[in-house]
Structures are given as C-alpha cells and as structure tokens.
Amino acid sequence: MALRRINNIFRLDDKRDLRIDSIKGLLILLVVIGHQIEPFIEGSPVVHAVFLLIYSFHMPLFVMISGYLTNPSADSRKFWRGELILFEALLVFQTVRCLLTTLYFGFSWRMLITPEWTLWYLLSLIFWRLFLFVAYRVNNTRSVMLVLLAASVVMALAFGFIPVGTEFSFQRTFYFFPFFVTGALLCDLHKHSPCFRPSRRVLVIAAVLSVACMVYLAYSIASRPEPCPFFGNSCYRDVSDMLTRFCCLVVGLCISLLIFRYFKTFRIFALLGASTLTIYLFHTFIVERISYKIIHGGSIPADIFTLTVISVLVTNALFLFSKVPLSAWLINPFTRLHARLNSRRKR
C-alpha cells in the first residue's frame, strides 16, 4: 500500500503536455531561487548577476506558458468558473498576507488594493484571461490575435507613463501582457501546425536583439542602479525608462522563445510542473522565514550555492505537500466545500 502511494506521487499524467510541464517545473524552481536570493543581492555581485539572469526570463516565460495553456474558446460557464477559482485563491492568500502584515507592521489601507508580494500574478492572470476571452468573442481570427499582440506591446510601453504602480497590479498586468498574448498565439499556431516551432532564422535574430538589449541594460543598471529593471512594477521616472522597459521586453521574449523551442522533457521538472500553483503560493512563507534566520542568525552562509540548495529542498518539500489533499483545501476552501456538499447531495 505504501509503495503504491509513493508510485502515485511520482507518476506522470500522460494526458498532460510533459514538455510544457518540464518548462513550468524549471520556472517554478527559478521562482523559488529568485525569491530566496533576493535579500542578498547587494552583498554579492555573483548573487546579483544570477538574480538578474533569472528575472530576465522566468516570469515572462511563465506568463507565456499561461497564455499557451489558456483556452479562449471555452464556454462562458467554464471560463467564469476558472476566473472564480483564481479569485478565490487570491482572496484567501491576500487575506492571510494582510493579517500577517497588520500583525507585524500595522494596518494600511493600501494593502486592500495592492496584491501582496507574489499574489500580483493571480490578479494579473485574471485580467489577462478576461482580455483574451473578450478578444476571442469579438473575432477569433489569427489577424485579431496579431493586432492584440501589437496593442499589448504599445500598452506595455505607453502605460508606464501612468502614475500607478503596484496598485491592482496595474503596471505588471500590462508589462507582461505581450508575453501572455504571445503564448496564446503560439498555441493557435500549434493547433493548425502541430510540429510548428520558431524558425532558426527567427531565433538567430532574437538572439542578436537580445544581446544588444542586454548590453544596453548592463549600461543602464550600471549608470542608474536599481534592484531589477525586469520587475515591470514601476511607472517611469523619465523617458529613458521606456527604452529600458522595451529592452526588458525584448530580452524576456527572446530568451523565452529560445527555451520554448529547445527545452526537452525532463521527468523531475515535469513532476514539479504539475504542482506549480501550490509551490508558488506557499513558498513565500518558507522563504521569508529562512531569509530572516540567515540575516539575523548568521549560522547559514548566504552564498549562491547554499541558497540554491535550500531553494531546491523547499521546492521539493512543497511538491510533496501538493500531493496532500489539505493543500487543495487551503488554496480553494470554498470550491472544495461546495464540491463536497454537492457530492453528498447526489448520494
């Protein structure tokens, strides 16, 4: 019985796209590593360099995969059910985060309109799915998708002038929207051409553009120090910030396309990739505590190797936790309770 349960934990679902799950597994590990090393970037150039490299593509590619997996042709009932499930998870974890923030730092009205830390992604995902759903209902042709992609790039660059930052995840919603539309467009291309991959010529051009933009970003970061230009959560200070944002978009898109094109299926990453939501939502509580212990305890070295090992352990521990029914109840308690009551009524 025990062996059967263990086998079920590490069994891959053949109905899923294992290559996409592998990419998601790599990305969620990078998410945990990025958050674990973030408090220590100022003390080590190596840690800072790794941090910038991770953030240059891990969220853009994550958003692209989300767009790839979104089905805008789903019926309205299924779509809105998905939106409510996302909103429920956002509401639950935002409430917990707000209570903890109030307990340790006091109450602020701003926390009611600003997603706490990583929760911006859930709110933005709700908006991205809605934008795509509406666009598909207007006209579901590929030309409309291309127009939406062009519009999303214009909005990503132009909306930086609007003096709204992290409130309602405004800046990040529009900064990352081009990646979401790109993912949806890739999905549409794959439906009509299952073997479609970006051509080598496109990838070479993407690599050259990416290198050029990286050179500019290196100069920009050196001349105007900032934590990370890839966050995409701040409005512009001046016009030069728009060029910086454009370069960040190009780098994120180019690296994402390269990984999407060449990344293969890996069992360990595919397993993690099937449990990304649980890992994403819970890892911050653990990472915060570990970082506090390192900073104030001093017993654990803050080098890149140690922090990476800790991140791998945290990721795998949460993967195991995702297989426990309690994890699903904590993320969507009302949905689970409603389903349980309905099943009892049918009996």
pLDDT at 36: 92
**Cβ-count burial of 175 within 10 angstroms (0-12 exposed, 13-18 middle, 19+ buried)?**
buried
What pTM, to 2 d.p., does this model score? 0.92
Angle at 114 between CA 113 and CA 120, to 5 degrees: 125
pLDDT (tens digit, 0 to 9) for every residue of the chain, 347 residues total?
A: 555 556 566 677 777 889 999 999 999 999 999 999 998 888 788 888 899 999 999 999 999 999 999 988 888 899 999 999 999 999 999 999 999 889 888 888 888 888 988 999 999 999 999 999 998 888 777 788 888 999 999 999 999 999 988 898 999 999 999 999 999 998 887 776 665 666 777 778 877 888 899 889 888 887 776 668 899 888 898 888 899 999 999 999 989 988 998 899 898 999 999 999 999 999 999 998 888 777 666 667 778 888 899 999 999 999 999 999 999 999 999 999 888 888 777 66
CA-based end-to-end distance of the chain: 28
**Domain locations along the chain:** 28-346
d(CA 241, CA 249): 12
In whole angstroms, give the CA distance from residue 108 to residue 112: 8
| Cα(282)–Cα(180) distance, integer angstroms | 24
d(CA 124, CA 177): 9
Cα–Cα–Cα angle for 211, 217, 221, rounded to 5 degrees: 150
Q: What is the pLDDT of residue 69?
A: 93
